[in-house]
Amino acid sequence: MKRLLTVALLLCVAASVALADTKAKKGGKPTGTKAGLQQVVDDYFAGIKASDAKKLGEYLAPDYSFTDLDGKMATRAERLKAIAGIDNAKTVFSDIHVRTYGTTGVVTGLATNADGTRSRFTQTWVWQGGRWWLVASQRSPVT
């Protein structure tokens, strides 16, 4: 009887994990999984393309830091101001790879601007307080 209850409990846990992962893939509330982070990253890049600083502010941690192509650091407020002042509508994000390591996510990819300039980027995300936060990112020029 104990074995049957244990198996039933394990099946319930597995089903709930699978359901949460499926919900994240179908547009439900993002979860602390790779699929949940992928959903958040897709939404984040949509905000970049729209130059929507308000939307992006929902993802940046209060102590967020950004390292730009020239090596200069920017705070959360400085980065949001810069994004709001740039037309990113034609920016193309490609070669995006999302990886998770427990409660930490790493996203890498390529950004191509309308003028043809390209840069590689790395983002560090953390799952905290029931949501994904972007805590640091950097860009490097592609020559």
Query: In the chain, where are the structural domains located?
Result: 31-141
Rounded to whole angstroms, the Cα distance separating 124 from 112 reads 20
Instruction: Identify the sign of the CA torsion 35, 46, 62, 30.
Output: negative
pLDDT at 26: 52
pTM of the model: 0.79
Return d(Cα 91, Cα 75) in angstroms, integer. 22
pLDDT, tens digit, 9 for 90 and up, residues 26-78: 557 889 999 999 999 999 999 999 999 999 999 999 999 999 999 999 999 99
Q: Is the CATH code 3.40.50.300 the one for domain 31-141? A: no
Nearest to 44 by CA among 111, 140, 128: 111
Mean pLDDT (the chain) is 85
